[in-house]
Amino acid sequence: MFKRLLFILITLLAISPAFAQETALLKGLVFKKGTSQRLSNVTITNKVSKIKSISDVWGNFSIEANLGDTLLFKKDGFQEYELPITKKQNLLIYLSEALSLKEVVVKEKSKQQQQKEILQDFRSKGVYFNGKPTLLAYIFTPLTALNELIGKDANNARRFGNYIARENAESEVDKHFNDTLIKKTVAIKDEDLAEFKYLYRPKPENVTYRNVYDDMKYIKDCYAKYKKLKKLNPQ
């Protein structure tokens, strides 16, 4: 009887590591390196399990992985990036643009310049209200207003206008919640920074009237919550 129990115990100990390798659902954001621009349609592949995921319009993604797995991030126009998973935490991924001759010859333009030029191009096609005609437009320029409402270019302008609004709103958040300010405010470890930013990034409407002291207070309050969370869920 004793030998049989001993055999069962040894068997359980032998197979326990397999059960300990629990799959976790990792979440994260993908950015263009050196900017706050979030990248959509990035393909994320677990090279071990072959599971795939794609980032959404906000750059968010989630994928199942075990410790020791490697994630591969791919998007047209960007360099591939591999990340070994050494701990179960949220991820911030930065992809570098692929080098091209055009990038070497043409001087890079600012985001604001690019946005302005695209909007000017829509205006050259008769789209003056970014696809959202005003009431006065229907009264004084009804044909233009109608084109703005149902035209293909107007629809594209409307979508681009919404995209600009989202991008500019997120850029404003970055002014109030970034690596430099966080490290200046609290003694956070580098390996915890990505997870902290993912969990406590404020919404655009919450930073509209903040000054630097409000930002620092918010970061301190969030970091206190984060430390309690880490104690409750140690890695």
Q: Per-block average pLDDT, block size 10, for the chain (235 residues)?
A: 50 46 85 89 94 94 91 93 87 83 48 62 52 50 51 57 75 89 91 89 90 93 91 69
Check residue 87 and give its pLDDT.
82
Check residue 211 and give its pLDDT.
92
9 occurs within a structural domain? no
* Residue 54 shares a structural domain with residue 31: yes
59 occurs within a structural domain? yes
Range of the domain at 84: 22-95
139 occurs within a structural domain? yes
Check residue 190 and give its pLDDT.
86
- Cβ contact 25:49 at 8 Å: no
70 occurs within a structural domain? yes
Q: What are phi and psi of 32, to 5 degrees?
A: -75, 125
In this structure, the chain runs to a length of 235
Overall domain count for the chain: 3
Check residue 55 and give its pLDDT.
95
Q: Return the structure tokens found at 17.
A: 């590591």
Task: Say which CATH number the domain at 62 has.
Answer: 2.60.40.1120
Check residue 65 and give its pLDDT.
92
Terminal C-alpha separation, the chain: 39
- The helix/strand/coil state of 234 is coil
172 occurs within a structural domain? no
17 occurs within a structural domain? no
* Residue 110 shares a structural domain with residue 69: no
- Cβ contact 231:198 at 8 Å: no
Q: pTM for this one?
A: 0.45
